[in-house]
Structure 1
Amino acid sequence: MVLEFEKPIADLELKLQEMKDLAKGRDVDLSADIQSLEEKIQILKKETFQNLTRWQRVQLSRHADRPYALDYIYEISNDFVELHGDRNVKDDKAMIGGLGDVDGRTVMFIGQQKGRNTKQRQERNFGMANPEGYRKALRLMKMAEKFGKPIVTLIDTPGAFPGLEAEERGQGEAIAKNLKEMFKLKVPVICIIIGEGASGGALGIAIGDKVYMLENTWYSVISPESCSSILWRSWDYKEQAAEALKLTASDMLENKLIDGIIPEPLGGAHKNLKDMSQTIKEKIIEALGELDKLKPEKRIDARIDKFCSMGVVNENK
């Protein structure tokens, strides 16, 4: 999959491959030309990805090849054991969780999982969890708290599922309860937005001591398309909506809504899963090192203060 703004790069990469094939097939020395073209591609990549618009970052966060929660979990941890069910209704496949070993330490991983193909997307409900998904997440958080294990959540959802049955089973209540209970968890909680972070669907597992965003992700109360449809009665103004929403990682950091940005490989996280996973792993270990120094009561107070200070405006009269 090639996004619109990536086409000039893709065209040059195609020429580069043709040049390499020509040199190999005809035994011609084109090393100087190949090196020159490789340097040109690298420069173009840097210029392109350093100057992405907000809408282009939204597109990149949805890239079909972008790693999902389980991709990162299997790379970051050893001996991952997935846990299932909310012990009430069913096992929501859009919300995954389980225990994994990170450098000799057991961590509870929780995240939303999308699908690669049509069958998987239907099974995972496009990463949109039902109430039982949020209740499963809370059950796993409480289990982690009981056994003194830190929690890492990986957020990637276009929103909580808005279906009639989800509302009948208490979608709003399930998310609200997660918000309340996550503030009181006695173990360290690290939240990382790895793709889309939309509305309460994302926030339902995003109350943490440390909240990070990958470089090419977004976090907002509403998607650009939905915002455009409400304000302009059309999806045609999604780019303007993205600019107005200020939903990128740099916007969130500037507004003090997150604690840091995790850089991605040039071209996006999907270009090098191993490097991206290693960067995330290092950030998790670093954050846990900081949080372990605090007593549970101090962590809880700091967590509450952090979120209570968001959106506060002081007016000089």
Structure 2
Amino acid sequence: MTQYLDFEKPLAEIEGKAEELRALARANEEMDVSTEAKALDVKAEAMLKELYGSLTPWRKCQVARHPERPHCKDYIEELFTDYTPLAGDRNFADDLAVMGGLARFDDRPVVVIGHEKGADTKSRIERNFGMARPEGYRKAVRLMDLADRFDLPVITLVDTPGAYPGKGAEERGQSEAIARSTEKCLQIGVPLVSVIIGEGGSGGAVAFATANRVAMLEHSVYSVITPEGCASILWKDSEKMREAAEAMRLTADDLRRLGVTDRIITEPTGGAHRDRKKTLAAVRLNIAGMLDELSGKSAKELIKDRRRKYLEIGNKGLAA
């Protein structure tokens, strides 16, 4: 059953009425409601296109957080073969908010790392809603070292509201772990490509996405802080998150103009959750394209390319 966002309530009413008609027809075979149901379907499709044709930044945040949106686990299961998860940071524990391991992408051996939010209440709690602790970032560093040693491309899938800010995480060196992961992204001499599949929040996202090539799904967001957090700091009122989202330039279009991201992956009308197979296929195509762009480059060239990309961020698009 589809979960509707606040701004989709009119759409929910139309699609609900169409489903009610079909349920009545199933209960009474003599009833023919096909014409009425089809008319409602056409109306719903037009409304869906209208709603998603002009999403505000805040609404894009809501779509990026949709609980039915494909998560890291879905991408790994669909896009990769021979996935062998590697657990733990060899220091403290394993962090279930971070998935990672060896796999094959289009029959090419790679290392894949990503944030996993969970799909139901139990898994969301186990995965800490995709908010990694220090051991998660140290696991990522270990996997990137492994990739560098064996000359394997690294693919990261980013979907986190931010790193976990709890007391235990701070005691175990959260900021240092994030910094080490970001540093490792800049040091490895293998292709590193990243896809923002939902939320790219704060340093917790940058620690995985300091890549040679960064792609964003059309309705994903990427920012230094959540709009609610920004509003709480600037206006002392988290309810001003809409104004914050407008000011933060966190959408894929904004970040493409600023050079933060390199590609925008078009989503199905209504968001990635409306057609998961189409979304997964589009991500596969773009990951393959980014890896092809980097093929044949030496370790020195890859490192230089990555550093140049981040030094040049903000030099273009500032007047937009």
Which TM-score bucket, shorter chain as reference? over 0.9
Structure 1, gaps ≥5 residues long: none
1:230 — aligned with what?
A: 233
Q: Within the alignment, does 1:94 sit opposite 2:97 as a pair?
A: yes
1:157 Cα deviation after fit: 0.8
Using the size of structure 1 for normalisation, the TM-score is: 0.94
Q: What TM-score comes out, normalization by structure 2 length?
A: 0.93
Is 1:13 paired with 2:12?
Answer: no
SS in structure 2 at match of 1:160: coil
SS at match of 1:205: helix
Matched length: 315
Correspondence for 1:112: 115
Q: Note the C-alpha offset of 1:311.
A: 3.2
Q: CA deviation at 1:29?
A: 4.0
In the alignment, residue 156 of structure 1 is paired with which amino acid? D
1:39 aligns with 2:80: no
Are the counterparts in 1 of residues 185 and 210 from structure 2 also a CA contact under 8 Å? yes
CA distance in 2, matches of 1:54, 1:6: 15
Q: 2-side partners of 1:304 and 1:197: how far apart? A: 20
SS of residue paired to 2:204? helix
Shift of 1:23: 4.1
Give 1:312 shift.
4.4
Which contiguous aligned blocks of 4+ residues in structure 1 show a shift greater than 6 angstroms? none
Tell me the distance in 2 between the aligned counterparts of 1:304 and 1:198.
21
The equivalent of 1:121 in structure 2 is 124
1:85 aligns with 2:88: yes
Q: Would you say the 8 A contact 2:257–2:316 is kept in 1?
A: no
Structure 1 residues 203-262: Cα deviation after superposition (integer angstroms, max 9, x where no partner)? 111111110111111111111101111112121111111111111111111211100111
1:4-49 CA deviation, whole Å, 9 max, x = no partner? 1111111111121223334452434444333332222111111111
Output the CA distance in 1 between the equivalents of 2:161 and 2:104. Answer: 29
Aligned residue number for residue 191 of structure 1: 194
Instruction: Identify the residue that residue 174 of structure 2 maps to in structure 1.
Output: 171
Sequence identity of aligned pairs in percent? 45
Two-structure CA RMSD over aligned residues (Å): 1.8
SS across alignment from 2:146: helix
Say which is worse superposed, 152-161 or 165-174, in terms of deviation. 165-174
Matched with 2:271 is 268
Distance in structure 2 (CA, Å) of the matches to 1:17 and 1:162: 43
